[in-house]
Structure 1
Amino acid sequence: MEHFKKLTTKEKALQLNLDDKIYGTIAEIGGGQEVADHFFKAGAASGTIAKTMSAYDMTFSDAIYGKCDRYVCEEKLMKMLNREYSLLSQRLTHRAKRSHFFAFSNTVEVLNYKKTNEGHGWIGLRFQKHSNSEPNDCIIHVMLRDTDALWQQQVLGIVGVNLIHACFSYSEPEDIISSLADNLHSGRLEIDFFRIEGPDFHHVDNRLMSLKLVKNGLTHATMFDPKGNVLQPSAALYKKHIFVLRGRFKPVTHVNVDMMLTGMRAYRHEEDVEISKILPICELTLNDLTMEGQIDENDFLDRVDLLCSLGQNVMISNYQEHYKLAAYLSQFTRRKKIGIVVGYFNLVRIFDEKYYENLNGGILESFSRLFGSNVKLYVYPTLEPGSDKLLTSQSFTPPPHLQKLFSYFQDNKQIADLKGAKAEYMHIISDNVLEMITQGEPGWEKFVPNKVSDAIKKNHLFNLPYELQVDEEDL
């Protein structure tokens, strides 16, 4: 990591102003009008600022940058960056050989007078690392957590300066991410989307950057689609009927696929589920990715690649407990039903009170957060270790003082067994399959889908011995 003294916001702005190579435009629309102000107040802004643009009225903004379905969205931000950077290139050709051009833009919604909305914004920088080079883009989405509009605006100004300074000061995206919240107290904002791309960052896998957002505590969850594109969670989840399969997926086995397919069949038949709005998600937690306190990034990408090869959306979260995940998802679903498929032993854990000792309301508080979010648990049958007996919600016996509570959830169809699960897959244990792969034992392929087997062999996933890989011509 490159080491720089941790500077104040004013010092960062002044440092940029005194660099005679860095030169560009700052354009801000909506509630965020603070970034340019920092550069002017720092002094020597004429060395860095070619133009500032401030548009608050939607009509003016649309006239300048073009209309979008929503005012605060990534599409609007990209229109702003495209226009402002193209104007720099057209009008400042005489500076091209000695300047590193940039266009900074944001489109933001802060709290309204009645505080009936949620503050958030899209922020981006298009910038050159070298004169006469193709530019790079760094795009982030922030959720503003302060309870006052003025405080939210202050956060936007600081984050904007941090972004510009980091992109010009650092060459590694991890360092850029680490500096985005400089000079801000914890909890004032959440950064749930980060994407960097361009000639100087062609080596970057933005899925790893999403993981680092969660790992560094900048957000609780991030997402990407089956093609590996990073998604902004609130936009992807908004008013969707969400169906979640939680797991380690190391590797993805026939059991994982059957859990998703069997669960989806049941979920689609719920009376209050609109099929066209179903969004299936495979979710990994930081805990599931951590080994001896460390996250193996290659292992993470291996698992994600397998899920994406099966056409799945992927979420990374730090929500180990089901009730925390449910509460997070319910922010966006607007009371639409959330389905979560669990194994028998997950159900046992959910009813174990020791996991809720940190809650004032104990297990009752956890259940209010879990089932109060219009959640239904679908229990996938599990073979009892050492026998052929199937373990289901009907065979689960909670502690006596929780029996009536458990029956209440069953009677109200908030906990239900999945029907039609394939018995021939239930003996598959992912840890055993993983050991077979790493040890080079024959026969592991029959426990995983064909696409997964092919991907493991082709890409040498999970430390598969080289002699067991297949030639690409064989795939």
Structure 2
Amino acid sequence: MEITLKGDKEFDEVPSLRTKALRINLNENIYGTFAEIGAGQETVRQFFRAGGGSGTIAKAMSAYDKDFSDAIYGIEDDGRYVTEARLRKMLTHEIALIEERITRDKHPNKMFFSYANTVATIDFAKKYKGHGWVGVKYQVEPDQEYNEIILHLRFKENDARLQQETLGILGTNLIYGAFYKYNVPKKLLRYLYDHLDKDQIEIDTINFSGPVFKDVDNRLMSLQLVKNGMTDAVMFAPDGNNVLPARVLYKKNILALRGSFRPVTMVNMDMYQKSYEMFLKENRVVEKNTQVVFEITLSNLRAEGEIDEQDFMDRARLLCSLGQTVLISNFQEYYKLVEYFSQYSKNRMGLAMGVNNLIDIFDEKYYRHLSGGILEAFGKLFFKDLRVYLYPMENEDGTITTSENLKVHPRMKELYKFFKYNGKVVDITDYNPSTLSIFSRTVLKMIADGEEGWEAMLPEGVANLIKEKSLFGCETEQAFLDE
């Protein structure tokens, strides 16, 4: 149900924070608690200042002291406080208290909610800008199960007071959107930035759950974050759920493979397996501390024009079925990807790629926007503890192109030699020759044209999944029967 107020109308312009808070306060059925840790009580302050909060705010609290916080919510296994697990405990605990203390007999029409955040603002040395978890657990009907919206943010401002104010604005937008915009989650995402600029805050993870979001795929919500410029990259795990990149990548050895994976083929998996074996033999690389990431760039998703969300989901589903962690990024240039990984880990990294990708890296046109041009980009790319694992390419005449005979622009020849002979580019030699002639675009065309034989070009189980789920427009006899 869409919650409305008598006499209320939607304005084309963005409602003020006071208007949003007042609309919540004047709805006599919305009632809940605010629990804010780490950046003041900036969200509830908006509701106090708007007026009429006595019918909405059951309790406002801020358990700053760690011992008090532990006494209320329990001790985390990792001993940390700014975590998703902590936020979920806060939301669950506060909702339980409302249910316990406010009887449904007396208040049959109340829609309970709990808003919480656990945040670390910028430190005194200004070395770490700060981040936090923010969430709301709420009902849109009194007798309905609870819904949740949980997100992770990163502050971009360099002043703690400004970060506190930004958090208060975001929290107000979240509560307002949860009650009044939940029926269109994509719009709700955009409304989170009302009265905010993307230079103030980054939202890099969000998950929706509960009855009103039963049809929401959180991977598509992740895609919206990148499309809307709210973050540069999002990640989801093999189980299909969104995960915080920082948590997955922190202090890890990282091996990344970029591709269209449309669909993922035998050559993709051969490149992954062989580069992974080589990566594990590197100094200071330990298997239990290694994370493999399959990356799809936004520019790749837009290769056919506007982003096709179903096409995106088809790729994601296949990679997840193979047990892979997927990164969707806005990094067209590889050095930006390496810079991104370097935020979370200083350990050794690897990039597995084909010959054409490496040739593109040495193309000056990608670096004209940099004051230092290609040298600046390469300083950022290869200054790190990074190695490129090059998968060979079979040419039309049957010859094989490797790092030894690939041709870059004449101006780039000496630069390429420098990195090649300093061990930054190494060939994958133990490859499977039978896979070299496989291309995703060929498989995709065969599927679209109803040709036979494409199944053998894909990893085990992938063809069956494509047929079962009718991915990439695959039409099977069973699909027609299901219709």
Q: Is the 1:17–1:44 contact (alpha carbons within 8 Å) kept by the matching residues of 2?
A: yes
**Superposed displacement of residue 471, structure 1:** 9.4
**Superposed displacement of residue 292, structure 1:** 4.7
Q: Is the 1:244–1:281 contact (alpha carbons within 8 Å) kept by the matching residues of 2?
A: yes
Q: How does 1:286-297 map to 2 (within 5 A)?
A: 286-297=298-309
Q: Is the 1:162–1:180 contact (alpha carbons within 8 Å) kept by the matching residues of 2?
A: yes
1 CA distance for matches of 2:11 and 2:186?
Answer: 14
2 CA distance for matches of 1:223 and 1:470?
Answer: 34
The aligned counterpart of 1:116 is 127
The aligned counterpart of 1:147 is 158
Q: How does 1:173-252 map to 2 (within 5 A)?
A: 173-252=185-264
The aligned counterpart of 1:79 is 89
Q: Is the 2:129–2:157 contact (alpha carbons within 8 Å) kept by the matching residues of 1?
A: no
Q: Is the 1:382–1:390 contact (alpha carbons within 8 Å) kept by the matching residues of 2?
A: yes
Q: Return the match for 1:435 from 425, 445, 452.
A: 445
Quick one: which amino acid aligns to residue 86 of structure 1?
A: A
Quick one: which amino acid aligns to residue 158 of structure 2?
A: T
Q: Return the match for 1:460 from 459, 462, 470.
A: 470
- The 1:396/1:361 distance shift into structure 2, 3 A limit, reads same
Q: Return the match for 1:163 from 163, 174, 185.
A: 174
Match of 1:306, SS?
helix
Answer yes or no: is 1:393 the counterpart of 2:403.
yes
Quick one: which amino acid aligns to residue 99 of structure 1?
A: K
Match of 1:432, SS?
helix
Answer yes or no: is 1:17 the counterpart of 2:28.
no
Answer yes or no: is 1:130 the counterpart of 2:141.
yes
Q: Kindly provide the CA deviation profile for residues 142-165 of structure 1, in whole angstroms up to 9, marking residues without a partner as x.
A: 000001111111110000000000
1 CA distance for matches of 2:372 and 2:57?
Answer: 54
The aligned counterpart of 2:358 is 347
Number of aligned residues = 469
Answer yes or no: is 1:409 the counterpart of 2:400.
no
2 CA distance for matches of 1:464 and 1:274?
Answer: 40
Q: Is the 2:467–2:475 contact (alpha carbons within 8 Å) kept by the matching residues of 1?
A: no
Q: How does 1:369-380 map to 2 (within 5 A)?
A: 369-380=380-391
Quick one: which amino acid aligns to residue 383 of structure 1?
A: E
Q: Report the TM-score, using the length of structure 2 for normalisation.
A: 0.94
Q: Kindly provide the CA deviation profile for residues 225-276 of structure 1, in whole angstroms up to 9, marking residues without a partner as x.
A: 1110110111111111111110000111100010100110110100121221
Q: Return the match for 1:315 from 321, 327, 331.
A: 327
**Superposed displacement of residue 411, structure 1:** 2.6
Quick one: which amino acid aligns to residue 380 of structure 1?
A: Y
- The 1:469/1:450 distance shift into structure 2, 3 A limit, reads farther
**Superposed displacement of residue 286, structure 1:** 1.0
Q: Is the 1:214–1:220 contact (alpha carbons within 8 Å) kept by the matching residues of 2?
A: yes
Answer yes or no: is 1:254 the counterpart of 2:266.
yes
The aligned counterpart of 1:332 is 344
Q: Is the 2:355–2:390 contact (alpha carbons within 8 Å) kept by the matching residues of 1?
A: yes
Match of 2:213, SS?
coil
Q: Is the 1:125–1:137 contact (alpha carbons within 8 Å) kept by the matching residues of 2?
A: yes
**Superposed displacement of residue 4, structure 1:** 5.3
2 CA distance for matches of 1:35 and 1:268?
Answer: 47
Compare 241-250 and 459-468 and name the one that shifted more: 459-468
1 CA distance for matches of 2:480 and 2:467?
Answer: 6
Match of 1:294, SS?
coil
1 CA distance for matches of 2:128 and 2:75?
Answer: 22
**Superposed displacement of residue 402, structure 1:** 2.9
Answer yes or no: is 1:271 the counterpart of 2:283.
yes
Q: Is the 1:458–1:470 contact (alpha carbons within 8 Å) kept by the matching residues of 2?
A: no
**Superposed displacement of residue 398, structure 1:** 2.9
2 CA distance for matches of 1:392 and 1:471?
Answer: 48
**Superposed displacement of residue 450, structure 1:** 2.4
Q: Kindly provide the CA deviation profile for residues 24-56 of structure 1, in whole angstroms up to 9, marking residues without a partner as x.
A: 000011224211111111111112101001111
Quick one: which amino acid aligns to residue 22 of structure 1?
A: I
Q: Report the TM-score, using the length of structure 1 for normalisation.
A: 0.96
**Superposed displacement of residue 389, structure 1:** 0.8
2 CA distance for matches of 1:337 and 1:90?
Answer: 52
Q: Is the 1:32–1:107 contact (alpha carbons within 8 Å) kept by the matching residues of 2?
A: no
1 CA distance for matches of 2:33 and 2:384?
Answer: 44
**Superposed displacement of residue 9, structure 1:** 1.4
Q: Kindly provide the CA deviation profile for residues 346-377 of structure 1, in whole angstroms up to 9, marking residues without a partner as x.
A: 11110011111111110001101111232211
The aligned counterpart of 1:280 is 292
Q: Is the 1:436–1:444 contact (alpha carbons within 8 Å) kept by the matching residues of 2?
A: yes
Q: Is the 2:40–2:62 contact (alpha carbons within 8 Å) kept by the matching residues of 1?
A: no
Identity of matched residues, %: 45
Quick one: which amino acid aligns to residue 239 of structure 1?
A: K
Query: What are structure 2's unaligned runs of at least 5 residues?
Result: 3-9
The aligned counterpart of 2:70 is 62
The aligned counterpart of 2:5 is none
Q: Is the 2:117–2:134 contact (alpha carbons within 8 Å) kept by the matching residues of 1?
A: yes
1 CA distance for matches of 2:307 and 2:82?
Answer: 34
Quick one: which amino acid aligns to residue 31 of structure 1?
A: A
The aligned counterpart of 2:456 is 446
Q: Kindly provide the CA deviation profile for residues 82-115 of structure 1, in whole angstroms up to 9, marking residues without a partner as x.
A: 1000001111114541111100000000012222
